[in-house]
Each structure stands twice: as structure tokens, then as C-alpha cells.
A and B are shown apart, each in its own frame.
Chain A
């Protein structure tokens, strides 16, 4: 296979290279990063026959225009964009063949917030500490640790043999710009006044404009703490709902720091994190309480959906 590139004509709002994340270095403060919607990242890879760990492009709200310099197979999963290749509409959640010289253009965003573009063989930037994932704040991974810019060349492989067209079942995207996310309470739910968990599940929180890949600041009724004691800073994971003294919760997302000193009232379950990744500032979140067993059952259902994609005959 020979190396080629996708040339960035227009980068879109925030297009970054992501893989499953940079695990194994949190002890020295290296954040994990990775896709905001891991389900759609994996589905996009699956559709072109890639390993789930292959790097994709995460496309946010406004998509890019790319000049394709190799013959290959691609797929788009996640947010629903009107996308076209040389003016011809391309399908979502379905692989498609492209030829060198074609232009892939993302148009209007119809639903969701983030799409994942996979390329057969994956995006071939050099890894940093074992991962190609872009972490924007520390400037690590991806292309020079930043979002794509005009003129960038994203390295990909030219394909030697054609791959079958594969169709998948995509994530159920948020409707009406709101989503319900299930939460396992803890580890510090006992730091809050007795009504706080009820306050968390009883209302809608609006995602603040001051939100990004690190976390979503949530606007809603403050969650009252029992007292002002300080938590000794401790390791955190994606999905943590941490509550600073202001009482305004922050949902930690893909680019979160490795540790934090705010109490966590709960963690969003892994199966619902992809849905969270499809939300944007101004969208609404409602929380529901869930058990850990329920969380694992939901994740298994998710995995089944991911594998429920089938090869189709070319042209069908």
C-alpha cells in the first residue's frame, strides 16, 4: 500500500484526528483524549473494515472540504450531515468508494453534533505515546496537536483491493436538541444535600457556550453541597459529573484532565457517552439514575448494535 493524503481545502469548525485514546500515561498527567462519540468512531471504522483503534477524523458542527488524493473506501458515521463527493450525495452509516481527485464536501448539519470519517487502513499520522488522538490543550497527537487547517495533508493509504459496501446501524441521535443520559451515583454523592440527586434528575440542564472537548458546563439549578470541605484531588474518568462550589455541574468529556479536586455526584454510563458526544452548546440534558448492572446491560446492547452491520452487494 502506498501513502497518499487527504488535502484540507476547508477545515470546518473543529476537525481533529482521533483514535480510541492515549491510555497508560495518566500517572504522569497525560490526558486520554479520543472520540467524543466512541460508538460512531468505531462504527465508521467497522464499515471500512478497520480495527476499532484506527484513527478517524472527528468533525464538529461545520464539516470540512477535502481533496482526496488516493483511491480508497470511506465511511461517515455519527451526526447527520448533508455530504457529497464531487456533487454526488454520499450515504451515512454506509461505506463508499472514492477516487483520487474527488472532493468530499460536508454541507448542512441535520442532526447531532459530531461525525466520524473513516478511511480504509486508517489515518496514518505518527503516534505520540502510542496514540494518534489529538489532545488540544496539551497540543499532543493528531497533526501537530491541533485541529486541521487549510493546506494540511492528512496521510492515508492507497487501497490495493476494493472492499465490499458495508451498511451499519448508526447511533440513535438526540432529537429536539435534548438527550437523556443515565447516571450511576457516586463516588461522592454523599457530599451533597439529600435533595441534590433529585435535583439532578428532576430538571433539564442547558449546555453552556463555555463548553468544549474537555467538558460541558451545565446551566440549571445549583446542586447544593452539604459543606465546603475540600476533596483531595483524585483520578477522574470520562462521564464524571463534578460539582464545583458554585453548584454548577461540569460533565467531563474526552479531553478531560486526569485528576480533579471537585466532588462527583455521579458518572454518566459508558453506553450513553456517545449520545452526550452528539450534543452541542445550547442543547439540553436530562439525567436519570441507573445501577451499574443496568449500565453494563446497556453497553452490551450497544455492542450488539455495532456488530449488526452487514455486507451489501456493490451498488445496492
Chain B
């Protein structure tokens, strides 16, 4: 494979890339047929890809592709993947092209991948989406989030009227759709205005899940049960992210509205309704879980909801409550409603999750909710939106949650290592 470099060198950028793809196809077919295990593309080939497709500047000053040439290359790739009938070959090829190598080519790799996936969404190239779904499972969440960001930008903000195209992916490739939701919920954690999901995206996700609650479990259902989940990849299900959305939404949207005073109340109402629907859907998904887990024999053994993420969520929430408390000295009934809603949803989600076996924790000595309430929020109880327990809804579970002792010991001391640092933020 390495010997074709000389023949590629004199070609123009596009035809060189085209030819390399052609050779790569043949090479991988051969590899699969020979049954070599594990099917691994050698480093020379990877170098060639980087040189002729990704145009990483090496010793020679590679001319960059023009946007038109790039589009042609994407088109060729689309056809290439489309025409390849064998899933294994396709998958191997995709990995060879786009698996991150931790070198300087990664940037252009990501750029090309983003465009390819975006294009595949537009023209409905299911095989590519499938491959991308796999890629999303295996890749560090940082990069997954970037891909999701590109898609959201492309379809939800940049090109008006292109939302339906993205909407179609749930029918085209549910796996990709599921991974996309996971990535998007990871990306938009509602900590700032930039990290609030666009309304279009929210609508899309809500309608997806309403249509088919099992969608969020697709990856979980399809993936083997091996513990071969790569470190810091996306969660198997987007459930954790969705719960976070539902719980933080009332507070986060209120804050945003406060910052931008002209925020239309319509939009806020819409969002509230959507989050409400989403919350219901998520709870419904939880209700599906016991059966599925039982079928797989995993009930009580696999925590789909990580304890750390719940802990991080509660700490976030307590911070938000604290802020809400500070900002609303003139307490009105309205200002009480949002924290109340958030706490209600937290309670419901925790209860259902625990009941459905998604959250594994034994009833221990410490009461998580109690901690939330008695955390940094409470000291000035007079102003607290939740002045006393009696006002809590009657069904508030007083079930003490036995989580891992270590985070609990740290919990009151605010600087909580959430285990979910987000060094990646869109918009930089």
C-alpha cells in the first residue's frame, strides 16, 4: 500500500485522494477476505490518508483543497460508502479514515468528518450515519460533542428550514440518532446561554422520544454487554443528560430570561411545555427499563445512570437554587414555582430511576435530598424558596440514598469534583 505514494505524488489533489480511496477500498477488502485478526490498517496507510486526503502539512507543502474539490471528495466518499455492500469493510474504512490518531491531522479529520456526516444527513446516506454512530460510541466525548455541535449549527441555526432534514435521521439511522442525542445532551448542559439547546433541536428531540421512547435505548440494546466501553466516551444512553435538562431547565431558562429581558414569554412557555413532555418521556423510558434489564439479566447489576453524574447534577442544582435565592429578594409566588418544579422533577426522576433499576444505590445513612436542601442554600432560611419541609409535596421520597461514601463526604464542601469536567465549550 505504501508503494503507491510515488504514483500519487504527481496527481492533482482531488484525483490523488480519489485514487487513494480506491486503493484503500481494495486493500481493506483484501484484508477482510484474508481474515487477518484483528483487522488493522497499518500505519503507512494511515500516513497516506493523512497526506492525500486530510492534507496534513508534512515535509512537502501540500496544496490545500479548495472548497469545491472538498465537496467533490465528500461526494465521492458518500458514493464510496454507499456502494460498499459489506458492513465490515465499510466500517473498517470509516475507522481508517476518521478514527482519531492523536496527531495534528485530527483537526482536519474532524473537519472532514463533520462535513461528511452533515452531508450524509442531508442526502440520507444511511451507511455513513451507521458508521458515524459507531464512531460516536468509540470516540472521546470531547470530539463527539464537536461533531454534534457542527450538526446542530448546520441544521438548527445556519440554514433555515433544514431542520426537517435532521429530523429524518431517527428513521434513517436510529443508532446515530441515539448517539446524537447523547452527544447533544452532553454538550448543552444549560450552564450558560450558549449551552442552552436551540429550540428547534429541543423540539426535534422531544418529538423523537415521544414517537419512540425506545430510541434512547437503542445503543444500549444493540451494543454487546462487554465492558469494552472506551474511557470517557459518551454514556450508553442519553438518559443522564436528558434528566439534567429536565431538572435544570426551569431554573436555567428563568435565568436566561432575566439576563435577556426581552425574551419572549412564548418561547419560554414553549420550552417549559417541551421540557415537561420530555420529562414525562424520560420517566416513561425509565418505566421500560425493568423489563429490558430483566431480559438481559442485568437488573440491579448495571447502572445506566451513573452515580457521579447524579451527584454532579445535585450540586449544580443547589448552586442554581442558591443563585435563584439571591436574585429574588422580592419573593413572589412565581419565583417559588421554578425551584419547586426543579426539585419536583429531581425527586421524581430519582425515585423512578431507582425504582426502575437505572440508578443503583442502597439506602444509606445520608439523605441526598436532605443534603441538597441543607447545603449552601439553607443558611438564610428566611429567604429560602423552600422554607420548610411541610411545603414539599407529600410524595417526596424521604428514602435515604446510599451513594458512594466518598462523594458524600465531600459533598457539603462545595468544590465538588463532578467527574464531568467540560473543558469543551462550543463557541470558542
- Are A and B part of the same complex? no
Residues on B facing A (Cβ under 8 Å): none
Residues on A facing B (Cβ under 8 Å): none
